[in-house]
Structure 1
Amino acid sequence: MFRLSNWRHLRVSFSFYLLPVFIFALAHTPNLDPYRLWIVFFALHFFLYPSSNGYNSYYDKDEGSIGGLKHPPKVSRGLYYLSFVFLGIALMLGLQINIAFTAMMGLYAVVSMAYSHPSIRLKKYPIAGWLVAGMFQGYFTYAMVYAGLNGFGWHVLSSSHVYIPGMLTSIMIWGNYPLTQVYQHEEDSKRGDITMSIKLGIKGTFYFSSLWFLLAGLGFSYYFIAQNQFWAFWAFLAAMFPSVIYFYVWFYFVNKDAERYASYAWAMWMVRIAATLLNLFFVYYFLERTQLLQVIDSGF
């Protein structure tokens, strides 16, 4: 269980790419409490997400590159147990908030397990796997974070002030998710996993993702403008511009030589650029929306 290879499969650093959803929910938190903030942050990013990564790696047994690991080491049974240790820690931390938040993390973990476990393996169903991944990494995670940060319960799932921004995050993930599968066609096919990217084909994946990125851009833009947050609208466009440029440059090269450029390196740089800029934007959005800097400057 304590082999270095097992710990590498947890891919704790990969949680950075999932951080935008957390910060977006934080920006809308009416009951900001530092204790709950750190509990939710550590429970998710240092334990729940790594647990999911390790569990899925154990059943996938990838030999080629995966998100966050260019050369994944061989998995052992210890990785399976380690993933449950991390899940247990996440749930114990969740109990410091309330039962509802803990149960939400438990549901997230079960759905994540269903994605790779051979008895269900949602990953082999292109549409179902894509829908579930986007829904749970977007809307459900946003609602889970919002509930945890505020000490709320399951009712947040049906609240419009949670549902709308949560669904916007899902739309963005539905656009990005197939791109993270574009370099894994050969290995996924060997296991019988028909991912959304395989179903669409390499070029079809780019057309598909561009449509969802357009929907996400329009959705976020309308959301900010409808709330008279024009400062957020322009900042969002500025944050997205480099990612859009990179996406179309990548697509240009893929059209010339798909086998060479639909690669791990290109996909990971897409993820890095998009996540970094989104994190910076949502930090800015959080600071401006909560007026935290002004409060600090005024000495409370």
Structure 2
Amino acid sequence: MFKKSTWLHLRIPFSYFLLPIYFFGISISPNLSEPSLLWLFIILHLFIYPASNAFNSYFDKDEKSIGGLKSPPPVDKNLLYMAWLFDIIGISLSIWQFKNNWTLTLMLLVYILVSRAYSHPSIRLKKYAFLSWFIAGLFQGAWVVWIIYIGLNNFEFSHILKPHVLIPGLMASVILWGAYPMTQIYQHEEDAKRGDKTLSIKLGVKGTFLFTAVFFVMASVLYFFYFEAYHQAKYGWTFILAMTPIVLFFVGWFLAVLKNGDKANYKNTMWLNFISATCLGGFFLYFFLNSTNILTAVGQY
């Protein structure tokens, strides 16, 4: 079970790309405690996300590059067992550290089941272009924001329907709905071979770039008005500033692809993911520290 190939397919470093969602989720929470912040991070980024990666790798059996792994080794049953083990550990930690917060545990279980449905051959949401796009963006974005909110505050599920919780969750999904097709742009051959008609295949390479560009613009506008309405306009301007390096790389990459289609490759996709995660993660961390007055409190000591 503890083979090197199995650990590689967990793709734990790949969780870095979802870090902005975590920072955004904790920034809207009214109740914060260091142990809860730490344990939610560990549960999601070190167990639940890697388990999902492993499960997906087991059933995809990719021979070419996948997210976070340029040369994936062959898979075997050990990988499936490890996926289940990591999920069990994540759920067990949730029950142990967030006692009586059964809503959190159930929401984590729903996330796990959806990620299984995404890859498992008996359902395989991945083969449905628009459904998989919508489900992946919704659950890796909004659902995770709501998981964090429920986990930190021990509120009932109905609290996510309140505008100040519902709206940020959906906005987190807007970013992922834009980015998701870009993560598939170099996998057209592999996905088509398995019969997975991904959204990126449907859109084509050029269409994928244009689709993502529309969502980048939409996200910038929505986040600006959200911060202006619920917080301060300065956060909206700072968000746009944080998006600038992402947009510059994106435009440069698009122009390169128009000249040479081979540039729509794994290396450039990972660079876009890294720049996006770093810039947006940095912004949401700043927003969390500033809006919760943690920076002010630290400055007084």
TM-score category, normalised to shorter length: over 0.9
Between Structure 1 and Structure 2, how many residues are aligned?
Answer: 298
Question: 2:292 is matched by which residue type in structure 1?
Answer: T
Q: What is the alpha-carbon distance in structure 2 between the residues aligned to residue 25 and residue 205 of structure 1?
A: 28
Q: Does 2:239 correspond to 1:242?
A: no
- Residue in 2 aligned with 1:63? 63
Q: What is the alpha-carbon distance in structure 1 between the residues aligned to residue 258 and residue 233 of structure 2?
A: 36
Q: Does 2:153 correspond to 1:177?
A: no
Instruction: Summarize the alignment of residues 22-171 of structure 1 with structure 2, pairs less than 5 Å apart.
Output: 22-95=22-95, 96-97=97-98, 98-171=101-174
Q: What is the alpha-carbon distance in structure 1 between the residues aligned to residue 76 and residue 31 of structure 2?
A: 43
Instruction: Summarize the alignment of residues 197-236 of structure 1 with structure 2, pairs less than 5 Å apart.
Output: 197-236=200-239
Q: CA deviation at 1:150?
A: 1.5
- Give the root-mean-square deviation of aligned CA atoms: 1.0
TM-score by length of structure 1 reads 0.97
Q: CA deviation at 1:228?
A: 5.0
- Residue in 1 aligned with 2:283? 281
Question: 2:289 is matched by which residue type in structure 1?
Answer: L
Question: 1:112 is matched by which residue type in structure 2?
Answer: S
* Contact 2:25/2:144 (<8 A) preserved: no
Query: 1:7-28: per-residue Cα shift (whole Å, max 9, x none)?
Result: 1100111111101111111111
Question: 1:72 is matched by which residue type in structure 2?
Answer: P
TM-score by length of structure 2 reads 0.97
Instruction: Summarize the alignment of residues 13-28 of structure 1 with structure 2, pairs less than 5 Å apart.
Output: 13-28=13-28
Question: 2:200 is matched by which residue type in structure 1?
Answer: S
Q: What is the alpha-carbon distance in structure 2 between the residues aligned to residue 267 and residue 153 of structure 1?
A: 38
Q: Which runs of 4+ in 1 moved over 2 A?
A: 296-299
* Contact 1:91/1:106 (<8 A) preserved: yes
* Contact 1:101/1:153 (<8 A) preserved: no
Q: CA deviation at 1:190?
A: 0.3
* Contact 1:61/1:75 (<8 A) preserved: yes
Q: What is the alpha-carbon distance in structure 2 between the residues aligned to residue 162 and residue 54 of structure 1?
A: 31
Give the gaps of 5 or more residues in structure 1. Answer: none
* Contact 1:50/1:83 (<8 A) preserved: yes
Query: Quick one: percent identity of the two aligned structures?
Result: 47
Query: 1:103-162: per-residue Cα shift (whole Å, max 9, x none)?
Result: 111100000010010000011000000000011011111101111121223223312111
SS at match of 2:37: helix
* Contact 1:134/1:173 (<8 A) preserved: yes
Query: 1:144-195: per-residue Cα shift (whole Å, max 9, x none)?
Result: 1111121223223312111101111111100000000000000000000000
Give the gaps of 5 or more residues in structure 2. Answer: none
SS at match of 2:31: coil
- Residue in 1 aligned with 2:266? 264
* Contact 1:140/1:157 (<8 A) preserved: no
